[in-house]
Amino acid sequence: MAEADAKPALDMMNYGMYVIGSHGPMGLNVMAAHWLMQVSFKPRMVALSLEHDARTLANIRETRVFSVNVMGEDSRELIASFLQPQIPAKVQGRAHPHRAPLNKLAGVPHKTLATGCPVLRAALAWFECEVEGGLPTGDHTLIVARVTDGGQISHGKPLRDDDLGWTYSG
């Protein structure tokens, strides 16, 4: 079976919708992410996979910390605003590739915690992470991190990528 034949099965995998927060030389940044999972109970650890050229990955490499915002079903519009890259030139064919970096948190209620990473007031819950290690994996980098803090903000059903009618897989 060819690798491409596995695409339909991979497309059936579902993922939570998260907003990853980071900070670096260009300030705070957030991005929508799917490929996140818990990998250990003791200590509590997660694995996060990001594209090699993601601004968030550059921030995480520099500061070794990030926040995870667990988003609810009512946050679809907010998530959509975080799907674009901070650096406009990253999107091929964009009409104005040399625009200034986007401030995706402009007008979005949030606070920063001990790590300096943003936590969104619209999130159902959040946790902060400290990087333990990383590994290049194809066209992404896998980050393994220890959960250092967290909390619940409100109640609701977590948003999944299939709730949006599309998938980041295959």
Check residue 107 and give left, alpha or beta (phi > 0: left; psi -120 to 50: alpha): left
The helix (H) or strand (E) run that includes residue 133 is strand 125-137
Whole-number pLDDT of residue 10: 85
How, if at all, do strands 65-70 and 18-24 pair? antiparallel
Which residues partner with 72 through β-bridges? 158
Q: What is the set of domains in the chain, with CATH numbers?
A: 3-164 (2.30.110.10)
- What secondary structure letter does DSSP report for 102? P
Whole-number pLDDT of residue 98: 53
Number of continuous H segments (helices) and E segments (strands) in the chain: 3, 9
Q: What is the mean pLDDT of residues 26-45?
A: 94
Provide the mean pLDDT of the chain: 88
Query: 55-67 pLDDT, tens per residue?
Result: 999 999 999 999 9
Whole-number pLDDT of residue 134: 95
Residue 150: pLDDT above 90? yes
Whole-number pLDDT of residue 168: 75
Q: What is the mean pLDDT of residues 129-133?
A: 98
Rounded distance between C-alpha atoms, residue 38 and residue 15, angstroms: 12
Asked if 92 contacts 85 with a C-beta cutoff of 8 angstroms, the reply is no
Q: Which one is predicted more confidently, 162 or 86?
A: 162
